Amino acid sequence: MGSPLGQPFVLGIVGPTAVGKTALALGLAEHVPLEIVSADSRAVYRWMDIGTAKPTLEERRRVPHHLIDVVDPDERYSLALYQQQALEAIQRITARGRLPVLVGGAGLYVSAICDGLVMPDVPPDAGFRQTLEERARSEGWQALLPELERVDPESARRIEPRNVRRVIRALEVFYATGRPFSAWQIPLDPPPVESLLVGLELERQALYARIDRRIDAWIADGFVDEVRGLLARGYSPGLASMSGLGYREVAQFLAGELSLEQAVTQLKGASHQYAKRQMTWFRRRPRIHWLDAASATAEEIVELLGHSRGEAQLTSSM
């Protein structure tokens, strides 16, 4: 399913964590032949299932999913690599005559596909990273923020402050190129795909309640054992993959630094803040069609697709 310019056509379903993006995409699959391309920066890691809210194996059998379980937790994974792999998957899905549906809440991952961001060709500098990682460990993650705010205030505003890996990468790119990391993230013209973006939103307190219920379900479903198993495999809490929401708090519990109640409370609060940042990021994109997550239906998206692509073209392409 391509555009008049020969670009693949992609539907994006975006929004904050726990808002119901995957469920809506699976519902859409009952109306439109599609395959899902994950836009989740954590779902790429193997053995990290509960805390990344990956689709279940049964859901993945129902609808093909891409960019899930791509690397081990101790392997490096970059936005540039995601962009390359996701665009390749989209081309294959399109060649099969199916609709690629980009599903996730990682704003930069969505933008890398729908805008075609130009990525800086800066290889990892192990020495630079080690120096900053040691500083973050000894002084706390807050120690790196003033420097990032000084050289790249836009990235400092966008990046989750406790995401030390991304803060270090932004500083690494600046010192390697002399340009802020945010200045490199310039959309291509034209972008590599034609896209329709649908956003799901929910009243804030309702969303927070949904997040809290999800986290309680994670704990009940064995999230602590999942993290314990990762640590037993030798995956350090200091790894980029293990620094994600949930994994760091539960690792602190397992290390005796927090009670389970404290870990869950911290995780819920941090997840609320993350959802708020996600909505701020997506709200800056004027072309997203927003739907109320409490009432959104697959039929609404089919209608939007029809308006975007033309009913005749949609029907003939499917």
The pLDDT value given to residue 23: 97
Which amino acid is residue 129, in one-letter code? Answer: R
- What are the pLDDT tens digits along the chain (318 aa)? 555 457 899 999 999 999 999 999 999 999 999 999 999 999 999 999 999 999 999 999 999 999 999 999 999 888 889 999 999 999 999 999 999 999 999 998 999 999 998 878 788 888 999 999 899 889 988 999 999 999 999 999 888 787 888 899 999 999 999 999 988 877 888 899 999 999 999 999 999 999 999 999 999 999 999 999 999 999 999 888 998 899 999 999 999 999 999 999 999 999 999 999 999 999 998 899 999 999 999 999 999 999 887 643 443 344
Contacts of 274 (CB under 8 A, 6+ apart): 16, 17, 160, 245
Burial class (CB in 10 A: 0-12, 13-18, 19+), 307: exposed
Whether 95 contacts 87, CB under 8 Å? no
Distance CA 31, CA 297 (A): 11
Q: Which of 111, 82, 73, 117 is nearest to 227 (CA)?
A: 73
Write a three-state SS string for 96-159.
Answer: CCCEEEEEECCHHHHHHHHCCCCCCCCCCCHHHHHHHHHHHHHHCHHHHHHHHHHHCHHHHHHC
Looking at the chain, the domain(s) classified CATH 3.40.50.300 span 9-118+188-317
Among 216, 196, 224, CA closest to 304: 196
**Cα 254 to Cα 135: distance, rounded to the nearest angstrom:** 24
So what's the architecture of 126-181 in CATH? Orthogonal Bundle (1.10)
DSSP per residue, 26-47: HHHTTTS-EEEEE--SSTTBTT
Is the separation of the CB atoms in 210 and 202 below 8 Å? yes
- HSE at residue 51, side-chain half, CA atoms within 13 A, is 29
**Cα 195-13-59 angle, rounded to 5 deg:** 125
Q: What radius of gyration do the chain's Cα atoms show?
A: 20
In the chain, list all ranges with CATH 1.10.20.140.
Answer: 126-181
Residues facing residue 11 across a β-bridge: 101, 196
Per-residue pLDDT at 317:
41
Write out the two tokens for 158: 């966008």
- Strand pairing of 289-292 and 34-38? unpaired
Is 9-118+188-317 CATH 3.40.50.150?
no
pLDDT in tens, 224-281: 999 999 999 999 998 889 988 999 999 999 999 999 999 999 999 999 999 999 999 9
Residue from 57, 51, 65, 60 nearest 17 by CA: 51
Q: How far apart are CA 47 and CA 27, in angstroms?
A: 26
Res 311: pLDDT: 43
Residue located via tokens 């899905």: 93
Separation CA 229–CA 46 (nearest Å): 12
pLDDT of residue 194: 96
pTM: 0.86
Helix (H) or strand (E) segment spanning residue 196:
strand 194-201
On whether the CB atoms of residues 318 and 310 are closer than 8 A, the answer is: no
SS3 track for 61-99: HHCCEECCCCECCCCCCCHHHHHHHHHHHHHHHHHCCCE
Q: What is the pLDDT of residue 2?
A: 56
What's the pLDDT score for residue 3? 53
Distance between terminal CA atoms of the chain? Answer: 8
